[in-house]
Every structure is written in structure tokens, then in C-alpha cells.
Amino acid sequence: MRVKQLLMCVSLLVSGQALANVTEYCPGPADIKEFGVGTYIAPTASGDGQWYGVSQTGRGPVADFELAIFVPRVAAGGATVAGEILRCGYKLQNGGNLDMRYKREGTIVSIDTGGTWEEWYGQYYCDSKVSRACAFKENVRTNSRM
């Protein structure tokens, strides 16, 4: 019996795959910087990546957060749903809109559906103006080796 348990533990450790959940948020308007004409970046909350955005309708500083949109891909069980953040939307001070995208397309995240995220036509949106209210967890696979 002990040999089976030891072999199982060793095989799990050798595989080196662990699932880590990193809490992220839509960036605050003050954290978003225009680095080219109509092109914007912002750091992720974890500091491990960037948000990217391009405004088709305006330029200048970001004024206000409007909403975040999440599309589910897989039900993760209970009140948690896995999918991806389509965008975090903002108004610009000089008029126009900005959509910020999280990291690269296809990054899988999960949200808790009981709070600020509300379902609407098969997607979820969050339009809370409270800082860090539109929280989600990035589902990151990390390699850990002995």
C-alpha cells in the first residue's frame, strides 16, 4: 500500500504540472497609458503580463471604466465558470471609446457568477464602478520541478 502511495506522489511531482489561480482585475483608468497614437497598455495586477488596447474612435487619457465582458467556454462547477475576458471597456476624456484586451487571446480565466458578474445572453458582464470589482482568476499552469 505504501509503495502505491509513494509511486503516485512521485509521478505527480515529476509531471511538474500544477494549477495556480492568480486574481486579476480590469485595470483602473489611471493605470492605462497611451504609448502610441490611439494605442494603450496597462500592467496586469500580478505584474506578469500586460493589457493591450487600441481606440478606433479617440485619443488621449482614459476617463472612466464602463464594463467588462466575459464569454464562458467551460463550466467549472458550482458558481464558477471558465472562459475568457473579451474586453474591458473605457471612455476616453476627449471622447471616444477604448477596449482593453487581457494578455493574449485565448487566455483561460474563471469568474464567480454570484457577485458583480451578471449573465446576459450567454455571456457575462460586469459594470461595477468599484475598483477591482470585476475580478477574475487566470488559470495558469505552472511547472514545478524537484
What is the Rg, in whole angstroms, of the alpha carbon atoms belonging to the chain?
19
Which pLDDT score, from 0 to 100, does residue 141 have? 64
Segments making up each domain of the chain, as ranges: 20-141
* Residues 87, 70 contacting (CB under 8 angstroms): no
| pLDDT in the model for residue 48 | 86
Give the C-alpha separation, 107 to 86, whole Å. Answer: 10
**What is 34-46 written as a DSSP string?**
EEETTEEEEE-TT
Minimal CA–CA distance to 111: which of 140, 60, 65, 77? 77
Identify the pLDDT of residue 143. 58
pLDDT digits (tens, 9 = 90+) for 7-46: 333 333 333 333 457 899 999 999 999 998 899 999 999 8
Q: 104: pLDDT confidence band, cut at 50, 70 and 90?
A: confident
Q: What is the pLDDT of residue 74?
A: 76
- Burial grade of 68 (CB within 10 A; 0-12, 13-18, 19 or more): buried
Mean of pLDDT values over 73-77: 70
